[in-house]
């Protein structure tokens, strides 16, 4: 949404751009390889990864970022071995139990996006409690994408629109936007993927239309505040044209 509360879209309007991204979206990849390099079980990498989340959230608050969106578990990650999936769910529950008070004290609003119906009742309950507790916080919105897929998001938005418009035959871009999971955030300015792969892996497909894409070989458990600074310095060098020529951008 724009500050006026109207839905916005980078393909319809040219957003205001500043040196500090308003919204950073991250694929936190490389936990398994980090553990393997140390001859540890994969879950050790995930545990270290959670600690990095804490550090990066704090760094984003200090940098004045408004929205941080983290990909924690994709709709395709269910394909992993059952014991890894259940350990990831356990870690997610633990993090909600242990970290939410601190987030709240720091003025952070927590949101979980994704198909939550597949989670067990306890996890769904923890999610609801955390979202309700932190709903009024304004300093930073931390969105965690869990059982999230970009295609799922577009389809659930489309289906929700159809429910609200029985007999509707045509949907517009601005018609769909309010139904997407990230409707109340500006589109990401900066996307970061750690772990060296250069792909989107079904993350925010719609919202990344004009996002600057930063890929680093650094594994997520090694991605510290300095690495975040490096990504933001790279971002400051980008020329965001949104379809225009460079000359037009400089005329303003």
Give contact residues for ligand IPE (rule: CB under 6 A). 27-33, 71-74, 77, 88, 195, 197, 199, 201
192 contact choice in Mg ion, ligand IPE, none (CB below 5 to 8 Å, kind-dependent): none
Q: Are strands 67-74 and 140-148 parallel, antiparallel or unpaired?
A: parallel
Name the minimum Å distance from CB 179 to ligand IPE: 23
Pick the catalytic residue: 13, 77, 147, 184? 77
Closer CB to ligand IPE, 65 or 88, in the complex? 88
Give least dist CB 59 to ligand IPE, A.
19
Q: Which is nearer to ligand IPE, 33 or 116 (CB)?
A: 33
CB of 71 to Mg ion, least distance (A): 10
Q: What is the binding site for Mg ion (CB under 5 A)?
A: 29
Question: Beta-strand (E) ranges in the chain?
Answer: 23-27, 67-74, 108-113, 140-148, 190-193, 212-215
Active site residue 120: no
Measured from the Cβ of residue 218, the count of other Cβ atoms closer than 10 Å reads 18
Q: Is 29 an annotated catalytic residue?
A: yes
Helix (H) and strand (E) counts in the chain: 8, 6
What is the DSSP annotation of 20-54?
Answer: S-SEEEEE---HHHHHHHTT--HHHHHHHHHHHHH
User: Under a CB-based contact definition with an 8 Å cutoff, are residues 135 and 109 in contact?
Assistant: yes
| Catalytic one of 29, 31, 153, 189 | 29
Catalytic residues: 29, 77
């Amino acid at each position: 949404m724009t500050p006026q509360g109207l839905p916005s879209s980078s393909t319809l309007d040219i957003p205001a751009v500043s040196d500090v991204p308003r919204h950073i979206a991250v694929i936190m990849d490389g936990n398994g390889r980090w553990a393997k390099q140390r001859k540890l079980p994969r879950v050790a990498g995930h545990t270290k990864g959670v600690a990095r989340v804490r550090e990066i959230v704090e760094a984003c608050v200090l940098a004045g970022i408004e929205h941080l969106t983290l990909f924690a578990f994709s709709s395709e990650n269910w394909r992993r071995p059952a014991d890894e999936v259940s350990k990831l769910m356990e870690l997610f529950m633990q993090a909600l139990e242990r970290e939410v008070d601190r987030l709240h004290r720091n003025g952070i609003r927590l949101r979980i996006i994704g198909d939550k119906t597949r989670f067990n009742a306890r996890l769904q309950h923890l999610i609801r409690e955390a979202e309700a507790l932190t709903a009024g916080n304004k300093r930073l919105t931390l969105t965690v994408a869990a059982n999230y897929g970009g295609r799922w998001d577009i389809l659930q938005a489309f289906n929700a629109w159809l429910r609200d418009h029985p007999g509707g035959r045509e949907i517009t871009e601005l018609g769909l936007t309010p139904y997407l999971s990230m409707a109340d955030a500006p589109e990401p300015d900066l996307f970061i993927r750690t772990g060296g792969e250069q792909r989107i892996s079904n993350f925010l497909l719609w919202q990344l239309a004009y996002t600057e894409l930063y890929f680093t070989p650094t594994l997520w458990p090694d991605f510290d505040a300095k690495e975040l600074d490096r990504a933001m310095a790279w971002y400051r060098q980008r020329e965001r044209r949104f379809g225009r020529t460079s000359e037009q951008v400089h005329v303003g």
